[in-house]
Amino acid sequence: MMAALARALVDRPRASLQELAAAVGISKATLYRLCRTRGHLVERLVHHATTRITEAIEAARLDAAPPLAALERLITNNLEHRELTTFLIRYWQHTPTAAGVEAGWDAALDAFFLRGQRAGVFRIDLAAPALTEILVALLLGLIDAERRGRVARASLAEVIERAFLRGAGV
């Protein structure tokens, strides 16, 4: 339900509450009982999404596990929350609370890539923040590509990992 609402809010940001309810198959009244205002709904979804994704990042053990194993878990864990991830990208700019969470994720990923660079696993001619952004870009972009039917769902994680680690060149 939360995931469906997140997706509806992303697909049609200008939809009225009535349209949102219809999009997820409930009545306007039920949506109202869930969250009295649109603001509450967004707040609640942001909180839900940040919680889940923080769990996904922590479960990857970026600070201690071998870099390549941690990277793989990071990718697969995040793919399990596609709708929430795409929701956050579009909505956390409106909720100042989430800004600190984003900064925390950036810091965790930056530190992870720095560690991997020192361990000789990631290249050093791209700054660690750039590596973070490259990975996030691939995650978001290919999730969307799957939604549009351009990449098969089964191969998603594989494509992302390969593109991130080795690129498209021979």
- Under the rule (CB under 7 A), what is the footprint of DNA? 16-18, 25-30, 32-33, 36-39
Residue nearer to DNA on the CB measure, 36 or 123: 36
Contact 70, 58 (CB under 8 A): no
Does the protein bind a second copy through residue 154 (CB under 8 A)? no
Cβ 4 to DNA shortest distance, Å: 12
| CA–CA dist 71, 43 (Å, integer) | 29
Does the protein bind a second copy through residue 54 (CB under 8 A)? no
Which of DNA, a second copy, none lies near 96, with the C-beta cut-off 5 to 8 A by kind? none
Burial class (CB in 10 A: 0-12, 13-18, 19+), 166: exposed
Does the protein bind a second copy through residue 23 (CB under 8 A)? no
Contact 60, 77 (CB under 8 A): yes
| CA–CA dist 169, 142 (Å, integer) | 18
Q: Between 69 and 98, how does the x/- string for binding to a second copy read (CB under 8 A)?
A: ------------------------x-----
Residue nearer to DNA on the CB measure, 33 or 153: 33
| CA–CA dist 65, 71 (Å, integer) | 9
